């Protein structure tokens, strides 16, 4: 397989994982390779605004899972009955079943007051951290691991739980670990919540198309 084919294959196989974690330990060298891939992400002004908090402590994970369950209920209560019935069938996290959590944080102060390329677009810092997450996700897939992004939480709760300093934002709790398999179709599609848009609808030429 050419390196291009290998990359496209990983992109195609990457899935958001909730139910397929087996909880086996991940060898330290594999974890370091995956975090190393995240750490090689591009970043605005080379600010490298990310940090990775690896969470293995079962008690911390249980506490976080309870918080996520509460936030899941908050979202469920906002749904009309038919959407709620669909949502009720969808698992939104594998916090305790995964091998570990990796909380990716964002420090907007990293790089000092003169971050090259961020003067007009403050969010460019955040984009950089999200690219590190995508690298981490693809590397995990290439290593045969699964990863699931959890965003059903309040930032202040997670900051407090892990002792993250004020001003540093927890951007994602990533459930990371060994899996039985990766599904070929996204969970949300399999459960009838939402499906992928055709690529043609997403591509515009020269000017924004309103008919897409």
Ligand X SMILES: Cc1cc2nc3c(=O)[nH]c(=O)nc-3n(C[C@H](O)[C@H](O)[C@H](O)COP(=O)(O)O)c2cc1C
Least Å distance between CB 61 and ligand X?
15
Stretch 85-104: interaction string toward ligand X, x if CB under 6 A: -------xx-----------
Q: Which of 106, 112, 113 is nearest to 132 (CA)?
A: 106
Q: Quick check: 151 binds ligand X (CB under 6 A)?
A: yes
Q: Quick check: 186 binds ligand X (CB under 6 A)?
A: yes
Stretch that binds ligand X, among 11-19, 22-30, 114-122, 156-164 (CB under 6 A): 11-19
From 10, 30, 161, 188, residue interacting with ligand X (rule: CB under 6 A): 188
Q: Quick check: 159 binds ligand X (CB under 6 A)?
A: no
When CB distances to ligand X are compared, the closest residue is: 186
Which tokens sit at 40? 């090689």
From 16, 61, 95, 132, residue interacting with ligand X (rule: CB under 6 A): 16
Distance CA 95, CA 29 (A): 22
Q: Quick check: 150 binds ligand X (CB under 6 A)?
A: yes
From 18, 65, 106, 159, residue interacting with ligand X (rule: CB under 6 A): 18
Name the 3-class secondary structure at 161.
helix
Phi, psi of 148, rounded to the nearest 5 degrees: -130, 125
Task: Give all strands of the β-sheet with 145-150 in edge-to-edge order.
Answer: 50-55, 100-107, 168-178, 145-150
From 13, 152, 157, 168, residue interacting with ligand X (rule: CB under 6 A): 152
From 39, 149, 157, 168, residue interacting with ligand X (rule: CB under 6 A): 149
Least Å distance between CB 187 and ligand X?
6
Least Å distance between CB 17 and ligand X?
8
Angstrom CA distances, 19 to 42, 69, 142, stand at: 31, 15, 19
Distance CA 4, CA 49 (A): 29
Q: Name the residue nearer to ligand X (CB basis): 89 or 209.
A: 89
Mention every residue, 6+ apart, whose C-beta is less than 8 A from residue 176: 26, 34, 98, 99, 100, 101, 102, 140, 145, 146, 147
Q: Quick check: 179 binds ligand X (CB under 6 A)?
A: no
């Amino acid at each position: 397989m050419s390196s291009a084919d290998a990359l496209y294959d990983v992109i195609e196989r990457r899935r958001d994982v909730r139910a397929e974690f087996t909880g086996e330990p991940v060898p330290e060298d594999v974890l370091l390779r995956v975090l190393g891939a995240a750490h090689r992400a591009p970043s605005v002004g080379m600010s490298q605004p990310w940090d990775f908090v690896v969470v293995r402590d079962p008690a911390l994970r249980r506490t976080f899972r309870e918080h996520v369950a509460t936030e899941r209920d908050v979202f469920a209560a906002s749904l009309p009955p038919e959407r709620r019935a669909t949502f009720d069938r969808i698992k939104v996290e594998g916090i305790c079943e995964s091998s570990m959590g990796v909380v990716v944080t964002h420090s907007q102060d990293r790089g000092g007051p003169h971050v090259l390329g961020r003067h007009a677009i403050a969010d460019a810092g955040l984009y950089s951290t999200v690219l590190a997450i995508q690298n981490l996700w693809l590397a995990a897939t290439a290593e045969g691991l699964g990863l699931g992004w959890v965003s059903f939480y309040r930032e202040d709760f997670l900051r407090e739980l892990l002792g993250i300093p004020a001003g540093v934002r927890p951007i994602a709790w990533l459930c990371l670990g060994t899996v039985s398999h990766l599904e070929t179709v996204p969970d949300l599609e399999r459960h009838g919540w939402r499906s992928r848009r055709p690529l043609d609808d997403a591509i515009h030429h020269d000017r924004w198309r309103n008919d897409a």
